[in-house]
Amino acid sequence: MTTPAPEFYRLDPLTGCYNFLSFVETLDQFSSGDGHQPFSILYLDMNHVAMLNKTKGHAYGDSVIRWLGIALQEESASPTYRIGGDDFAAILTDGSHTDYEELLNRIFGRLNREGAQLGIPSPPARIALIHYGMDRQFSINDVMFHLWEAILNVKRNNASTISIFYARDLIRSTARAEEQRPEGIHHSWEVLQSIANQAINRVVSMGQVLDAAQKTSFLDSISGLPNMRAALYKIEKELSSKQPFAILLMDGDELTRYNHISYAVGDDMIQKIGAVLSEKLRPGDFIARWRSGDEFIAILPNTTGEGAVIVGERFCAAIREASKAWRFPTSITIGIAIHPRHGETSNSLVDAAESALKKGKDAGKDRAILAG
C-alpha cells in the first residue's frame, strides 16, 4: 500500500464501519453500473439506546453501538455502514436470498444472546432485508426511497422484529399509490423526488471534494508517498486491530552530498529512494515519508522480528544496487520495532525504532537493526 486509503473520510470513528457518505457512494456505483447485479440491503435499527444513555451513561451507550457494528461486520462479512445514530446497513452481494435470510436470523439470534448479557431488553434491534433482483435496473433514488420506506415500516411495526421486502413490490406499491394521488399531491411527490436526487448528488460531490482535501492532507508533495500524518493514522489503525506488526524506520545515508549540489537534486534522490522502496513492498505493506529529509517509515502487518529484518535487509540491498546508477551511490539504515514486543503505543514503537536506527548508524550504516 503506497497511497493513503480513500477511507479516511468514509469511516465512522466510533464503530470503524463505513459511514453514510460511503453508503451513498456504494449505492451510486450499483445504480450507475452497466450490469444488473443482484444485491440485498440488510438494515438494522437498534432499540433502547436512549434508555441506555439515560440509565448507564453515553459512554456505555456508545460501547453498545460499537458492539452492534462489530457483530454486524463479523456475521455479514460484507461492507457494513453506520448510516445514522443507531442505524446500520450491510450491502450483501455474494449469496442467495435464502443465504441472506438465514444471515438475518443468525444476526438476530446473536444480538438477543449477547444483548441480554449487556443488559439490553429484548429485542435489542429490529432488522429489515430488501432484495434487489436482476429483472430491472434501480436508480439510486429508487434504492434510497425503498430504504426509507423499509425503515419506516420497521420503526412503526411493533409486532414484528424482522421484515423482508422485495424491491419490485415496493416499486409496485409506490406506483399504485401515485395513481391514486390527486394532481397536487402527485406534483409534491415529484418535488420530493427532485429534492432527494439533489441531496444524493450533493453527498456524492462531497465525497469528491473530501478526496481532493485528503490528497493534500495525507500526501507528501516531494516523494508522492503518504506523509507522516498518514503513517500515524496507519499505526493507530494497526494498534486497534490488536494484531502484531512491524515498524521500519529508514534514513538515507548520503542526502547531504546531494543537497550540497542543490536541494532539487536532493529532492530527486528522495523520490528515487521512495520509488525503490515502494517496489519492494509486499502485498498489504505500507510505506510513507517520515518527518523530513530522506526519512521513510514502513508498516508491515502480521510480521515478526525475524521477518521484518529480512524485509529491511531487502530494502538495504535494493537501495545499494539501484543507487549505483545515481549521481552518488547511497545506502539506507533501518531501525525496526515490533508490536507488541517493543511497545503498545505509536510513540513507544517509534522511539524503539529510532533507538535501533541510531545503533545502526553508529555501527557503520547500511544495515537493518532490530530493537533490543
pLDDT tens digits in sequence order for the chain, 372 residues long: 344 444 567 888 788 889 888 888 888 887 766 656 788 999 998 888 889 889 988 888 888 999 999 999 999 999 999 988 888 999 999 889 999 999 999 999 999 999 888 888 888 888 889 998 876 677 777 787 788 777 777 777 766 688 888 887 775 444 444 455 555 445 445 545 655 665 666 566 666 666 666 667 788 888 989 999 999 999 999 998 889 999 999 999 988 888 889 888 889 999 999 999 999 999 999 999 998 888 999 999 999 999 999 999 999 999 999 999 999 999 999 999 999 999 999 999 999 999 999 999 999 999 999 998
Closest CA to 337 of 248, 214, 223: 248
Other beta carbons less than 10 A from residue 354's beta carbon: 17
Domains 8-216 and 228-370 equal at CATH topology level: yes
Domain 8-216 -> CATH class: alpha beta
Q: What is the pLDDT of residue 307?
A: 95
Q: What pTM was computed for the model?
A: 0.53
Q: What is the pLDDT of residue 4?
A: 41
**Domain 228-370 falls under CATH 3.30.70.270:** yes
Q: What is the pLDDT of residue 191?
A: 46
Q: What is the pLDDT of residue 173?
A: 47
Q: Where are the domains of the chain?
A: 8-216, 228-370
